């Protein structure tokens, strides 16, 4: 045990003080969602396929919402979106104390 303690004193830390020290994300990292709301048709496919049921879509009010506290960042919603308007930022998800509900409002379509 003593050699381990000495080695730990003289070698670089294996961990980072996140979020104060942020590592550069690797290519293809799956971070927070964003929706190009002007392309969204509010079809609800992302909400139906989401395993965490954290997406809420309302076609009448043209709103799209995601709860990042329930999201597991799996990317299924991005894959199933036919309009290709849903994306994941290539950056690490923010710590819990900095997360906020992602709420986006598009334009309501006139009917009749
Ligand atoms: S699947 Fe795409 S187009 Fe449909 S509601 Fe979700 S983000 Fe909008
Ligand atoms: S990344 Fe996964 S868990 Fe998060 S909203 Fe999309 S489908 Fe749901």
Residue 19 lies in a domain: no
78 CA to middle of ligand 2, Å? 8
pLDDT value of residue 22: 83
Residue 5 lies in a domain: no
pLDDT value of residue 103: 96
82 CA to middle of ligand 1, Å? 7
Question: What residues line ligand 1, using a CB cutoff of 6 Å?
Answer: 35, 40-46, 57, 81, 83, 85-86
Nearest CA to ligand 1 atom 1: 81
Residue 14 lies in a domain: no
Residue 38 lies in a domain: yes
pLDDT value of residue 110: 63
How confident is the chain (112 residues) per 10-residue block, as mean pLDDT?
91 85 88 95 98 97 96 97 96 86 87 54
Q: Which ligand is nearest to the CA of 66?
A: 2
88 lies in which domain range?
Answer: 25-105
Residue 47 lies in a domain: yes
Rounded Cα distance, 64 and 77, in Å = 12
Residue 16 lies in a domain: no
Residue 111 lies in a domain: no
Question: How many domains is the chain partitioned into structurally?
Answer: 1
- CATH number assigned to the domain comprising residue 30: 3.30.70.3270
């Amino acid at each position: 045990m003593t050699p381990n303690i000495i080695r730990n004193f003289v070698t670089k830390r294996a961990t980072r003080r996140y979020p104060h020290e942020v590592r550069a994300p690797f290519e293809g990292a799956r971070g927070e969602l964003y929706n190009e709301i002007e392309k969204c048709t509010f079809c609800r496919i992302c909400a139906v396929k989401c395993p965490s049921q954290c997406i809420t879509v309302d076609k009448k009010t043209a709103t799209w919402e995601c709860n990042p506290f329930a999201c597991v960042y799996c990317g299924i919603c991005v894959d199933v979106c036919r309009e290709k308007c849903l994306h994941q930022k290539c950056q690490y998800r923010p710590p819990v104390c900095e997360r906020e509900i992602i709420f986006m409002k598009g334009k309501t379509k006139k009917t009749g």
